[in-house]
Each structure stands twice: as C-alpha cells, then as structure tokens.
Amino acid sequence: MASQTTIDAAPAPSAPPASSTDDRLSAWRGFLQAHARLVRRLDTELRAAHAISLPEYEALLHLGRAPERRLRMTQLAGQVLLSKSGVTRLVDRLVADGLVERSQCPTDARGAEAVLTPAGLDRLRSAATTHLDGVDRYFMSAVDPDDLAVIDRAMDAISRRAGDVDPDGNPIADACDPIEPVP
C-alpha cells in the first residue's frame, strides 16, 4: 500500500501514494463532511418548509425540465442518482402525494413514464425557492467564484474516474449530458 500510516508505525520513506496520516487526505475528508452536512441541511429545510425530501425535490426538478414534463423511469433514475428500484419507490411516494402520475409510454409497451402533475409543478416552484436559497447560502456563497470553477472541473473529473456505472452496475447515460430547459 501507501507508505507509513499511523496505524502501523512503520517508517516508510516512500513516495507519493496516500498515507492515512494525510494532509493530502484532508481534502477527501473535508469533501465527505461537507457533503454530509450540506445534504442534511438542505433536506431538513425542504422537509420543514415544503414536506418533501431532497431526492423527491430532485425528481420533481428533473421532471419539470424534461420536454413534456415527463420522463422514463430509467432516465429519471440516472439523474436522481438512484437505482432502478429506488426510483420506482420514489415515484410511488410522489404519486401517493399527487405530485406525479404514472403513464404508459406510447412507443414502448414495457415503458412507464412519470409525469409531473399541476400540483407537482406548484410544489416544485415553491420548493425551488427554499432549495436554491440553501444552495446559495451554504455552497455557492461559501466559496470564491473562481474556486467554484475549479470545483466544477474537479468534480467532473472525479465523476468520470469513479463513474461509468450506476447503482445497479449498468453503464450510466453519461449523466453529464446537457439538461434541456422546458419550452
């Protein structure tokens, strides 16, 4: 493995690879912590103000941006970073709440689509206020605009290294492709 870690006090004068004693590992740990706190905050605020979770909000968001405000289950899964069955259940909840409807895909009898209802659109609009506000407050405004660009590039690079498979182990629709605004 790496060189010396504080675990095995072996004094290894070796080269670059990561040591658990870090310095370099600091960014990694910060990344984990920032993510944990951030999503917890945003999720809590969304639940308190609009009775939806962060994953639910993201589902509504992607549906809202999709061409007909409708999306195939698999596509939705790719964007929400959940497994196939994960989205099935997420959509179940949204349907139960009246925010989404299920619809047969006209071109493929196997296919199901999730469609945003008017109520869902309303909820999305009001929740967006809270969410964007939070992202601004806790993420955007916390870092220098120049650094934001650095982060943007870095995250993409990391995604590519780690990615290529979704939660089910299937190749992913390269979730980096541009998201089209709704007409």
66 to 95, contacts with DNA by CB under 7 A? 72-75, 82-93
The whole-angstrom separation of Cα 150 and Cα 117 is: 38
Which one, 105 or 148, has the nearer CB to a second copy?
148
117 binds DNA (CB under 7 A): no
9 binds a second copy (CB under 8 A): yes
12 binds a second copy (CB under 8 A): no
Say how many CA atoms lie within 13 Å of 56 toward its Cβ: 25
Which one, 2 or 81, has the nearer CB to DNA?
81
Which residue is it, tokens 């006209």?
A: 106
Strand order of the β-sheet with 100-104 is: 70-72, 112-116, 100-104
Measured CA distances, 50 to 122, 141, 153 (Å): 11, 23, 32
Contact pick of 12, 51, 132, 173 for a second copy (by CB under 8 A): 132
DSSP state of 144: -
Footprint of DNA on residues 42-61 (CB under 7 A)? 44, 53, 55
Give the three-state DSSP class for 114.
Answer: strand
| Distance of closest approach, residue 116 Cβ to a second copy, in angstroms | 10
121 binds a second copy (CB under 8 A): yes
Contact pick of 15, 23, 110, 180 for DNA (by CB under 7 A): 110
Mode of pairing for the β-strands spanning 100-104 and 70-72: unpaired
The whole-angstrom separation of Cα 179 and Cα 78 is: 12
6 binds a second copy (CB under 8 A): yes
The stretch near DNA (CB under 7 A) out of 107-115, 126-134, 142-150, 156-164 is: 107-115
102 binds DNA (CB under 7 A): yes
Q: Report the 10 Å Cβ neighbour count for 83.
A: 15
Give the three-state DSSP class for 115.
Answer: strand
Which one, 108 or 152, has the nearer CB to a second copy?
152
Count of residues engaged in binding a second copy, rule: CB under 8 A: 74
The stretch near a second copy (CB under 8 A) out of 23-31, 92-100, 104-112 is: 23-31
